[in-house]
Structure 1
Amino acid sequence: MTQPIRWLQDEIAYRMLQKLDIVKLDVKDILVIPDFSGKHFSAFAKRLPSACIHSIAEDGLSGLQLKIAKTIANWRSIFRGGRVSPMTNYLSTGKFDVPDNSVDLVFSDLLLQDLVDPKSFLQECRRVLREGGLIAFSYLGPDTGKELRSLQTTPFQLKNLLSPWDMHDIGDALMGERFSDPVMDMEYLTLDYETPELLLADLEALKLVTLNPQLESEMTVLPQKITLEVVYGHAWVLGKGLSKSQDSVTYIDVNQIGRKTR
Structure 2
Amino acid sequence: MTQPIKWLQDEIAERMLQKLDIVKLDVRDILLIPDFPGNHHASLAKRFPRARIHSVIEDGSSRFQLWISKTAVNWRSLFSGGAVGSLSHLRDNNKFSISDHSVDLIFSNLLLQDLVDPKLFLRECWRVLREGGLVVFSYLGPDTGKELRALSSSSLQLKNLISPWDMHDLGDALVVERFADPVMDMEYLTLDYQKSELLLSDIEALGLANVNHHLDVEIDDLPHKLTLEIVYGHAWAIGKHLAKSHDSVAFIDVNQIGRKTRTDSH
When normalised by structure 1's length, the TM-score is: 0.90
Residues 89-104 of structure 1 mapped to structure 2, 5 A cutoff? 89-104=89-104
Where does the alignment leave 5 or more consecutive residues of structure 2 unmatched? none
Instruction: Give aligned pairs, total.
Output: 262
1:107-118 mapped onto 2 (5 Å cutoff): 107-118=107-118
Q: Distance in 2 between matches of 1:75 and 1:222?
A: 47
What residue is the counterpart of 1:237 in the other structure? 237
**How many percent identity over aligned positions?**
68
What is the deviation of 1:80?
A: 4.1
Per-residue Cα deviation, 1:139-184 (whole angstroms, up to 9, x for no partner): 0000000011112334210000001100000000000000000000
Q: Distance in 2 between matches of 1:144 and 1:121?
A: 21
1:213-237 superposed Cα distances (whole Å, 9 cap, x missing partner):
1222544511100100000000001
What are the residue-to-residue correspondences of 1:136-151 with 2, within 5 Å?
Answer: 136-151=136-151
Q: CA 1:120–1:165 in 2, change beyond 3 Å: closer, same or farther?
A: same
Deviation at 1:83, TM superposition (A): 3.0
Q: TM-score of the superposition, structure 2-length normalised?
A: 0.89
Structure 1, unmatched stretches of 5+, are: none
Match of 1:204 in 2: 204
Equivalence map 1:47-86=2 (5 Å): 47-62=47-62, 64-65=64-65, 68=68, 76=76, 80-86=80-86
What amino acid sits opposite 1:10 in the alignment?
D
Contact persistence 1:113–1:162 (CA under 8 A): yes
- Residues 230, 248 of structure 1: CA spacing in aligned structure 2 closer, same or farther, 3 A cutoff? closer
Task: Indicate conservation of the 8 Å contact 1:55/1:85, yes or no.
Answer: yes
Superposition map of 1:240-251 within 5 A? 240-246=240-246, 251=251
2: distance between equivalents of 1:92 and 1:41?
27
User: Comparing 182-191 with 250-259, which one deviates more in the overlay?
Assistant: 250-259
More displaced stretch, 60-69 vs 12-21: 60-69
- Structure 2 vs 1, CA of residues 5 and 248 (structure 1 numbering), >3 Å: closer, same or farther? closer
How large is the RMSD of aligned CA atoms in angstroms? 2.5
Letter in 2 for 1:45: A
Whose helix fraction is larger, Structure 1's or Structure 2's? 1
Q: 1:250 to 1:51 in 2, by over 3 A?
A: closer
In structure 1, what is the equivalent of residue 124 of structure 2? Answer: 124
1:32 and 2:37 aligned: no
Greater Cα shift, 42-51 or 53-62: 42-51
Moved more, 93-102 or 223-232: 93-102
Match in the other structure for 1:135: 135
Corresponding residue for 1:215?
215
